[in-house]
Amino acid sequence: MPKNLDLFSMPPPEAMSISPPMNGEEPADPDYWIHLLRQKNYDRFETVVVSHLTKLIDFPDDQLSRLVGEESQESNKKTTYAIPPEAPIPLNEDLKRNMGRLFQHVKQKVDQDVDGVFRHSGSVARSTELFNQLQNSPSTVDLNRFKVHDSVTVIKKYLKRIPEPLLMPSRYIVAHTEIAKWPYNPSTEEKRMESIQLLLLLLPHHYREIMRGLFQLLQYTYQKSTSWKNAGDLAKAIAPSLILPRDDGAQHYAGLAEALNDHVGYMILHTNRIFSSPKHIQQKVRVYWQEADSSPTRGLEKLAAPSSAVKRSSSSAKRESATMTQQSLNALHFDDANVQKKMRKREKALSKYTDNDARREKLPNTNFSGLRCFSPGAS
């Protein structure tokens, strides 16, 4: 399991800002029930999402383990960099706030028909000054003093300095490369869209939130600018910072560069859809909660684990593991024997990690208001 489970199970802004539905009313956000499941029982949430993902993509067993965050001895080896990396910048509220301001500044300049946004680099001196001001005294920064290319350069610098690229290649690069190999035709459209939606659903929420703002900006730039032949052309300017490992393992994907650019280009074109959950999973999770006891709070009593804030002993965690998997597969109507077999195998592999269940500290009540996302046409 992940060493830092809070990174993945942190309450999303939707679960914190939307009150539980009253008098049988449906919540405004169709993903509300999924966010609630993630917040209250991350293990079960992950089981649901991964089981659907394995129906779409055929993962070898070792890659399935990687998908759910199990670390092998090979992955624990010290990473070798061709160039010593700069100190990483934590992805926290300050960074999200800074990124949100930069996104807005770039969008305003795109509205003014500035050419070559994301294609041209900014001034080294100005972009360094802007970066240092944002890091040290963000309240004093006047973005009007800087050109749009300076802001884009700083955005790219932040993307390279966060602990891991936004699409988290340590876990998901194999899945993205498999999707990138599929032909673009009507027969793969539904499968491609659902696979991407599920992969983005697995991202930690603060990674996902910055990604949403960035992809809204990229989509807006593509729609407004004449600098790009197609979305894949725009993706070339940003995809390596989003999807490729930063260690020397990136060389293994050199032959897939064009396919991965097209993959990210597809995501840019479909930004308005990729951050929603598949509708059939929304429905299954909603029914799961409602059938539990028509109240999400009371329904939690019927879950195998009482709360992510409760520490469990190793022995009880092991006993609950198999029960949780079968109950969640049954409750969410998984009747595919191959999927159930894979998930039982995955739970068996996970059992040796349960001694580390002290990671289940109380989830932080994080405020996500620092990052402003926008829709095309917003001022």
Q: What is the 3-state secondary structure (H, E, C) of 307-318?
A: CCCCCCCHHHHH
**pLDDT for res 58:** 84
Name the residue type at position 219: Q
pLDDT range class, residue 345, cuts 50, 70, 90: low
Q: Between 93-111 and 124-136, two packed helices, what is the crossing angle to 10 degrees? A: 140
pLDDT digits (tens, 9 = 90+) for 64-123: 777 776 544 444 444 333 344 577 898 888 899 999 999 999 998 887 767 788 888 899
Q: Please answer whether residues 138 and 97 qualify as being in contact, where contact means their C-beta atoms are separated by less than 8 angstroms.
A: yes
Asked whether residue 307 carries a pLDDT value surpassing 60, the answer given is no
Nearest to 146 by CA among 156, 134, 161: 134
The pLDDT, as a whole number, for residue 355 is: 36
Model confidence over 153-180: pLDDT tens digits? 999 999 999 988 999 988 899 899 999 9
- φ, ψ (nearest 5 deg) of residue 15: -70, -25
pLDDT (mean) for 329-340: 51
Summarize the confidence of residues 255-279 as an average pLDDT: 94
The angle subtended at Cα 210 by Cα 205 and Cα 214, nearest 5°, is 145
| Token code pair at residue 110 | 């795109």
Q: What is the pLDDT of residue 122?
A: 92
Mean pLDDT score, 198-221: 93
| Count of other CB atoms within 10 angstroms of residue 372 | 14
Give me 322's structure tokens: 């198999």
Q: How confident is the model at residue 25 (pLDDT cuts 50, 70, 90)?
A: confident
DSSP alpha helix (H) spans, 113-185: 124-136, 148-161, 169-181
pTM: 0.72
* pLDDT > 70? residue 42: yes
Q: Per-residue confidence at 212, pLDDT binned at 50, 70, 90?
A: very high
**How many percent of the chain have pLDDT more than 90?**
37
* Range in 153-162, 178-187, 192-201, 242-251 with the lowest mean pLDDT: 242-251
Q: Which of 99-108, 323-332, 370-379 has the highest mean pLDDT?
A: 99-108
The yes-or-no verdict on residue 274 having pLDDT over 90 is yes
Averaged pLDDT score across all residues of the chain:
74
Question: Where is mean pLDDT largest: 10-14, 69-73, 108-112, 350-354?
Answer: 108-112
The whole-number pLDDT of residue 43 equals: 86
Residue 339: Cβ within 10 Å count: 17
Cβ pair 328, 47 in contact under 8 A: yes
